Amino acid sequence: MSGLTCAEVRARLFDYLDGLGEAGDRAAMGAHLDACPDCAAELRASEGMERRMRQALAGDRAPDGLWDRVMADIDADAAAGPRGRRFGWPVLATAAAAFAVLLIAVVGLVLPPERRTVPAAALVVEPVNDFITYRLSGRPLDVESADPAKLARWFTGKTESGVPRRIPAPRGFRLVGSRLCYFLNRRLAALMYRTDAGLLSLYVMSDHDIVLPEARPDPAAGRALSSHRVNDHTSLIWRDGGRVYVLVSDLPEAEMRRFVHGLRAALRRAPAAYARVMTTMVTSIAGVSARAGMTSPAKPKQAAAKIQPITPLAMK
């Protein structure tokens, strides 16, 4: 089987997760998932749903001897024949009870994400687990690029919050690409950065229905941060402009805070650089106009003087 469509792959995702299918079919599935970010995101979503279902039902255990009683009722009905069949009430009651338990669990899992509030504990733990899983899997990035604008365009329509159009890499850190993730009941973006010492993942998501852990002001970062240690990794969490940001790495916390501090400094530099570029453009255009006799030579400086750097209040 080769050249699978997205519809064919998504129809077989749970079989793929359960290890079912011929070797050739599974190889074709794997090849498609490696090449298709959207289907890879669906696979991760299916993995998350299956994991939550197993967790939801982990404490439910059938009473001892239940299976033997069910099979005995089935055998008795079969032996009685059509005329003497007892309708199998114990079987139906047992099946109805089992179905009710399963329905409650599944309905809780498949309700729209916005109806379930994400607790602070999940916000602390799940990004770290995703980061560890990604590193162990050896999977490639969905998009490899150092251009924040390109990454923002790629995420358009793929996540609830999107990605800010300009998140410059702080000095000493390199933006290398991004991943589309699914956890915390939503699709979200993970921007990946590198230093000579290691890898960092900056998760970007809507702050809708999320409870943030208690944070402390960090003057150098220009915002309140909360810091957490999970499985030998650190996460720094903050809210800004209707989005929640979670920075995860196994680097020292001081190095991660340097990233957040540098991010603020980079955002401050960006408007100033924009103003300098615009000043140069206005001066050049007005100078050309003056030489052509279209305006006074004094006006370029006046026009350029009106352009002032804008201090960013939030990442946009």
Residue 236: pLDDT above 90?
Answer: yes
Report the SS3 class of residue 130.
helix
**Confidence class of residue 182 from pLDDT cuts 50, 70 and 90?**
very high
Tens of pLDDT, residue by residue over 106-127, are 544 444 444 478 999 999 999 9
Q: What is the dihedral of CA 187, 190, 191, 194, to 10 degrees?
A: -170
Mean pLDDT value across residues 238-248: 93
Cα separation, 285 vs 283, in Å, equals 6
Higher pLDDT, 38 or 158: 158
Higher pLDDT, 205 or 64: 205
Residue 229: pLDDT above 90?
Answer: yes
* Of residues 223, 234, 159, 226, the one with CA closest to residue 191: 159
Higher pLDDT, 299 or 310: 299
**Confidence class of residue 275 from pLDDT cuts 50, 70 and 90?**
very low
Residue 246: pLDDT above 80?
Answer: yes
How do strand 199-206 and strand 186-194 relate by DSSP bridges?
A: antiparallel
What pLDDT shows up at residue 94? 58
**Confidence class of residue 277 from pLDDT cuts 50, 70 and 90?**
very low
pTM for the model stands at 0.54
What pLDDT shows up at residue 255? 96
Mean pLDDT value across residues 149-161: 90
What pLDDT shows up at residue 150? 92
CA 15 to chain centre: 24
Tens of pLDDT, residue by residue over 38-90, are 888 888 877 877 776 766 666 666 677 777 777 777 777 667 665 555 545 55
